[in-house]
Chain A
């Protein structure tokens, strides 16, 4: 086993030195000199989670507020975690007004990965919980349009987000600007590709994933956007409101238990469907989402369509009648 003490490590270090000197490397990497130290001054901890911490920081060069996500690398035997590789590489090529900007990437003692992002004031979850949710229809419409613009852009670049939820939607308060964040579960998609089913937060998870399908596409993101839409209107997660033992039962209570007619292929996907849950007649979206204009309810029903093949796309959603009377587009 060759290790750090072996003879060849001198050559390896020489290779590292050559790389460090290589002007092309720094040009290609898009990182400033000293990015390893991240060039930030930590102000406070903004959030903490299983992955690590998010710090509110000052950029030492510009004085601007930035957010630094520090992720602890737990399983070093696997090298750099896949989640970080995906998030950084996809954000490197997604340039859109409604997608959070990744400014720098760095490492500390080979144990922490530091991602420096532009700073935003709060997320949509905090906005809904702490501010009594966006009560005016114009804000809901504006937020929805911006979320859909970002999702449509991702899909046009063949990228699925796969973890859309209010806490991954960031807000710039003064500009009322929305930015999608947390691309840790995102991936490029291809037709007929098998993906993992273990993803996304269950309240925002599409029924095809809950039915253990590993063959899904852009429609999973649209389901999540529909759940966010409903939550902005009613002030709490739609499927939390419905009294049920799990998310799938909640979905079937709301929209009706699917049949081969309403969702072709469901019996193959879920052969034990009739055993798993009773046959529910749809309660209907309008029962729970009461304060939404008819065109909004229509768009919501097209997003929360059980059959993924009939679910509306992000591109088509942006052209929906719900957005026609808006002058800020």
Chain B
């Protein structure tokens, strides 16, 4: 049964307690037309990169919550092994979710999900990184199955066709990148962003968070991290962001932020990484 457990070493690296920074630097002043325009473009674009509306229900009814969690963790392991960016990981997750939700296949087997995941990560790397990996190389990291290059190539073609070749997805990470430019001094920025990314990864693995749009998840993760690291700055920042959103977006952010806070405090209390509960039934993978 070992292979059914979530291996979440990648999250436990960061300490669970947030130390106070006595003198946080001033946050960037966002109030400029250019920023608001770019933000509006992203909000408009994100709608066309969402999975189908019944996606969470579909994952549940096909017992895909846990297998999805596993392949996302595989993406994250690949990230550290191949030194790829988090942006690429979030793109791969987006491709996976869109593909599975459009495909609506009713007799999933785990090898299918693994094959699709390899294609998703391969395409995301080629779209977003400076250099590609071979289809053999990409399979080095802990997979249950191994596939020949011609099979993966075929899967890449299917994936691209199903996604309509629309790969420049707007993800929660895109919003974090956009909203945190020039935010803090470089020495604090890295630490701040790694905390935000932790929250984004938890959100990606959590079925409840699938209900929220990427912008909502991204802003909520920034808000939570600011609350923990720079409480005085948090209110000013959120007030400004809220001022450029509509009422339903504001409501969603408050809801998402609350959920994220609860889960973060749970995680800190328990001193282990948050992991979504396993579904009542899971696919047992027999090793060949």
Contact = CB atoms under 8 A, between A and B. Distances in A.
Does chain A bind chain B?
A: yes
Interface of A: 1-4, 8, 11-12, 15-16, 18-19, 22, 24-25, 28-31, 76-82, 85-86, 88-90, 92-93, 105, 107, 110, 156-159, 187-188, 190-192, 194-196
B285 interface: no
B123 interface: yes
B151 A3 contact: yes
Given A18-B103, A77-B149, A80-B156, A29 B161 contact: yes
5 contacts: A4-B148, A29-B165, A31-B161, A80-B160, A195-B130
B284 interface: no
Greatest chain A CB density within 10 A among B115, B132, B133 is at B132
Contacts of B166: 89, 92-93
Nearest to A194: B130
A85 B157 CA distance: 10
B277 to A, nearest CB: 29
A154 B149 CA distance: 34
A82 B161 contact: no
A188 B134 contact: no
Nearest to B102: A24
Contacts of B145: 2
Q: Which of A28, A78, A88, A195 has the most CB of B within 10 A?
A: A78
Contacts, number: 131
B132 A82 contact: yes
- Chain B contact residues: over half helix, strand or loop, or mixed? helix
Interface of B: 37-38, 41, 45, 87, 102-105, 109, 111-112, 115, 119, 122-123, 126-128, 130-136, 145-154, 156-158, 160-168, 177, 181-182
Contact of A28 (B115, B122, B164): B164
A120 B161 CA distance: 27
B105 A18 contact: yes
A77 B160 contact: no
Given A25-B161, A29-B162, A190-B177, A78 B134 contact: yes
B164 A157 contact: no
Contacts of A11: 109, 112
B161 A79 contact: no
A191 B177 contact: yes
B111 A80 contact: no
A223 B87 CA distance: 28
A3 B104 CA distance: 25
B151 A79 contact: no
Given A19-B103, A82-B127, A156-B41, A25 B134 contact: no
A115 to B, nearest CB: 10
A15 B149 contact: no
Contacts of A89: 127, 165-168
A200 B109 CA distance: 44
A92 B165 contact: yes
Contacts of B45: 93
B181 A191 contact: yes
B112 A85 contact: no
Contacts of A1: 146-148
B153 A28 contact: no
Contacts of B130: 194-196
Contacts of B168: 89-90, 93, 159, 188
Contacts of B156: 79-80
Given A1-B148, A11-B112, A25-B102, A85 B162 contact: no
A176 B47 CA distance: 36
A28 B126 contact: no
Contact of B150 (A76, A86, A187): A76
A2 B157 contact: no
B103 A79 contact: no
Nearest to A158: B38
B153 A79 contact: yes
Contacts of A190: 87, 177
B81 to A, nearest CB: 18
Contacts of A78: 126, 132-135
Nearest to B288: A2
Contact of A85 (B131, B150, B153, B160): B160
Given A1-B146, A93-B168, A191-B177, A110 B123 contact: no
Contacts of A156: 37-38, 41
Nearest to A192: B181
Contact of B148 (A3, A19, A24): A3
Contacts of B181: 191-192
A30 B160 CA distance: 11
A190 B177 CA distance: 8
A2 B134 CA distance: 17
Nearest to B148: A3
A36 B103 CA distance: 20
Enumerate the 10 nearest inter-chain pairs by beta-carbon distance, A residue then B residue, closest first: A82-B126, A89-B167, A3-B148, A29-B164, A28-B164, A196-B130, A88-B165, A191-B181, A77-B134, A79-B156
A110 B164 CA distance: 18
B93 to A, nearest CB: 17
Contacts of A85: 123, 126-127, 160, 165, 167
B105 A15 contact: yes
Contacts of A18: 103, 105
Given A11-B112, A92-B165, A79 B149 contact: yes
